[in-house]
Amino acid sequence: MTASASDRTLDELTLGSEFSLPDLVDRGALGEMARSFHELFGVPLRIFTEEGALLADASGEIALYAYLEGSSKGRHEVQKLINSLKAVDPGDAGEVSLTCFTGATYRVVAITYDSRRIGRMILGPFLSPTLRELPSSLTDVDASLNHQELKKLLEQMPRAREETVAQIARHLKSALDLILFSGHKALLTSSMHLASVKESFRDLKAKNDELQEAYNRLKELDRLKSNFLATVSHELRTPLTSIIGYSEMLKEGIAGEISPEQKEFVQTIHDKGEQLLELIKGLLDLSKLESGTMSLRKSDVQVPQLIEDVAQTLQPAARKKGVKLEHSFDAVPSLWADPDRLRQVLLNLAENALKFTPPDGTVSLSCDSVMMEVEHDEAEGLVLLSNQRPAVAMRVADSGIGIPDGEKERVFDAFYQVDSSSTREAGGTGLGLSIVKRLVDAHDGRVAVEDNDPTGAAFVVTIPCRRATLV
């Protein structure tokens, strides 16, 4: 079996190509051409592939053959004729005439392209205009055939001179040549297009594989980094607790009286130790959140209470800085959440708000109930009609320096700070928001930052209510 044109490579199609007639021409167009020639000249016409498959047929039923088929000898002769038409070699000239037992003639013309035979056309049967008598080769087929009938049917055959048919064949060949040429051109163009698409697909696939490999490597590195962070932070915590403990004891004079200046130094050691401990706790939290080993201790949480608590905790620092810290809230449903972690989220956001708001500014904490879109939770085996769920939105807004649009996404990255210059006034390490984001994610919630009106930033944390509260 030969492969179809689209299966072959471009090289095969262009160099020493092995295309067949159906590769090059559209069957419909070929049939159309054959029919119009038949209508124009009245000579039956059939087109075959080199292997003998019929591609176009504009001949209709020939009544004489139908009559002959009625006798077994007649049928045998017709079959013999068909076989010899299939087998006849058109020779070097590419065309040959064959006169059969009925006295009718066929013209067999080879279809060649690029010096290769790819099919044949058979024009006929047609009778010479001069033939009047029944040929004996026809009457001898079977003595039982009715001569009167034979003569009548033979008369129905188209009549044409052999030279005329040869000329028609030449016209046909040149029309077909044109069709073959444009067919070949179209085939090459589409094959080239296909080849180039295949080529770009191969390129893309190779690039994709490389990317996947790079991604896997990065993921592995990320995992190693998290492990490393977790181990180092954990190991740092123990000696640091001793440093803090001993500096506290020194400060309190347990190891003997110390001068005010020494006390001041020890106080600095203590304060910096505490600061370092906070940082280490943050790193530990982050690595636990990244590795998914942080466990949440969930219970019913009343968000207004939480807000009040956070406001109270930060009130002294706000007063010291001269920033107004206010809070307000609507009645909201309770949340099924880890209260310590939610407090940590609000505290981190409120501390940032205070840090980035100059004196005389305002920081406000509030909450209200909203609806939020959640993804279907298949684990619970429920198909909700709507994926909207009641939720509580907590808002921490300030009138501070605000966050430029291009930075709003990045502030949630670990260690990212908008202004990381050495002249930056605000302290911190850039871990707070990345921990906030991960804690909120762990509660299936969302955190976003927007501009506050007229200045400053507003962080909104939305946590969905427990599904059980729906029913």
- Residues in contact with ligand ATP by the rule CB under 6 A: 352-353, 356, 398, 400-403, 411, 416-418, 428-434, 457
Residue 352 beta carbon to Mg ion: minimum distance, rounded to whole angstroms: 4
CB nearer to Mg ion: give 44 or 282: 282
CA 24 to CA 181: how far, in whole Å?
8
Give the contacts of 195 (CB within 8 A, at least 6 positions apart): 9, 10
Binding region for Mg ion (CB under 5 A) out of 38-46, 54-62, 202-210, 349-357:
349-357
Q: How far is the CB of 368 from Mg ion (least distance, A)?
A: 24
CB of 194 to ligand ATP, least distance (A): 52
Positions 423 through 442 that interact with Mg ion (CB under 5 A): 432
CB-nearer residue toward ligand ATP: 279 or 296:
279
Strands 54-58 and 116-126: unpaired
Tokens of 81: 């004729």
Q: Whose Cβ is closer to ligand ATP: residue 44's or residue 273's? A: 273
Our CB check for Mg ion shows the closer of 112 and 352 to be: 352
**262-271 burial string, b = 16+ CB within 10 Å, else e?**
eeeebeebbe
**Minimum separation from the CB atom of position 349 to Mg ion (A):** 8
Residues 6 or more apart whose Cβ sits within 8 Å of residue 48: 54, 55, 86, 119, 120, 121, 122
Q: What is the nearest approach in angstroms of ligand ATP to the Cβ of residue 433?
A: 3
Under rule CB under 5 A, residue 357 binds Mg ion = no
Question: For residues 318 and 431, which CB has a smaller minimum distance to ligand ATP in the complex?
Answer: 431
Q: Which one of Mg ion, ligand ATP, none is in contact with 430 (Cβ closer than 5 to 8 A by kind)?
A: ligand ATP
- Identity of the amino acid at 230: A
Per DSSP (E only), the strands in 290-400 are: 299-301, 324-329, 335-337, 362-373, 388-398
> In this complex, which beta carbon is closest to Mg ion, that of residue 74 or of residue 432?
432
The 8-class DSSP code of residue 146 comes to -
Closer Cβ to ligand ATP, 290 or 398, answer by number: 398
Question: Could you tell me if 373 and 423 are in contact, meaning their C-beta atoms sit under 8 angstroms apart?
Answer: no
Here the tokens at position 15 are 């160099």
Q: How far is CA 95 from CA 116, 166, 244, in A?
A: 14, 9, 109
Token pair of 20 as six digits:
């067949």
- Region from 121-129, 268-276, 301-309, 348-356 binding Mg ion, contact rule CB under 5 A: 348-356
Query: Counting contacts by CB under 5 A, is residue 352 touching Mg ion?
Result: yes
Selection from Mg ion, ligand ATP, none that 370 binds (CB < 5 to 8 A by kind) is none
3-state secondary structure of 323: coil
400 near Mg ion (CB under 5 A): no
In the list ligand ATP, Mg ion, none, the entry touching 356 (Cβ below 5 to 8 angstroms by class) is ligand ATP
Asked if 282 interacts with Mg ion (CB under 5 A), we say no
Token pair in block for residue 110: 């080879």
Residue 417 contact partner, candidates Mg ion, ligand ATP, none, CB within 5 to 8 A by sort of partner:
ligand ATP
Count CB neighbours of 424 within 10 A. 11
User: Which of the listed partners (ligand ATP, Mg ion, none) does 403 bind, with a CB threshold of 5 to 8 Å by partner kind?
Assistant: ligand ATP
304 with 367: CB under 8 angstroms? yes
Q: Which is nearer to Mg ion, 18 or 441 (CB)?
A: 441
Residues in binding contact with Mg ion, number by CB under 5 A: 2
- The CB density around residue 463, as the number of other CB atoms within 10 Å, is 22
**Residues near 326 by beta carbon (within 8 Å), at least 6 away in sequence:** 311, 362, 363, 364, 365
Closest-CA residue to 94 (of 79, 111, 80) = 111
Sole window of 20-28, 122-130, 144-152, 346-354 interacting with Mg ion (rule: CB under 5 A) = 346-354
Q: Please, which residue, 75 or 281, has the CB nearer to ligand ATP?
A: 281
Q: What is the smallest separation between the CB atom of 379 and Mg ion, expressed in angstroms? A: 33
CA distance 446 to 439: 10
Can you tell me the distance from the alpha carbon of 36 to that of 410, in angstroms, rounded to the nearest whole number? 72
Minimum distance between the CB of residue 419 and ligand ATP, rounded to whole angstroms?
Answer: 6
Question: Which residues contact Mg ion (rule: CB under 5 A)?
Answer: 352, 432
